[in-house]
Amino acid sequence: MNLNSPADHGKEGSGGASCPMDFILRMLMGPWTTYIVYNLRTFGPQRFGELKRRVAGISAKMLTERLRTLEGAGLVRRDYEATIPPKVTYSLTARGHELDEVLGKLAEVATRWQAEDAAARALKAAE
């Protein structure tokens, strides 16, 4: 969109109470973030390569970038071990788990809607 646009926030409806959303939505942008959080929770702390393999299709560039953002927001922890070859482990912080929980709720309603729609279609097809 464009965050630098002059008259954007804090005016009327858009701004006000919902503005922290900007932050969190930028967090979630691209399905990648969700997948990363999901995998970190499901498979526990893991290394860059593992994560990359699990989040099928993501490029190293993207993974790095998203992890940095997540780290900056305090959702993910990065542990660097300067061995050769280096070993970097990522894990969810308390905040990360909190986000995961809310995402779980989203997934829940999404799943239910999907099921409802499927049922509705089946009904319509059968008549």
Partner DNA sequence: CAGGATCCCAGTGGATACTG
Partner DNA sequence: CAGTATCCACTGGGATCCTG
- Contact partner, 64, from a second copy, DNA, none, Cβ < 5-8 Å per class: DNA
Q: How far apart are CA 105 and CA 107, in angstroms?
A: 5
Backbone angles phi, psi at 98, to 5 degrees: -65, -45
Least separation in angstroms between residue 45's CB and DNA is 11
Candidates 63-71, 95-103, 109-117, 119-127 — which segment interacts with DNA by CB under 7 A? 63-71
Q: Which of 13, 23, 56, 61 binds DNA (CB under 7 A)?
A: 61
Which residues form the interface with a second copy (CB under 8 A)?
Answer: 1-2, 5, 7-9, 11-15, 17-18, 20-26, 28-32, 34-35, 38-39, 42-43, 53-57, 73-74, 95, 98-99, 102-103, 105-107, 109-111, 113-114, 117
Residues making up the chain, counted from first to last = 127
Which pair of tokens denotes residue 11?
Answer: 């005016």
Question: Which of the residues 70 through 89 are near DNA (CB under 7 A)?
Answer: 78, 80, 85-88
Gap between the Cα atoms of 109 and 40, Å rounded = 22
Smallest distance from DNA to CB 42, Å: 18
Cis preceding-peptide flag for 85 (omega within 30 of 0) = yes
Query: What tokens appear for 41 in the block?
Result: 């929770």
Q: How far is the CB of 127 from a second copy (least distance, A)?
A: 20
Q: HSE-up of 65 (CA within 13 Å, CB side)?
A: 11
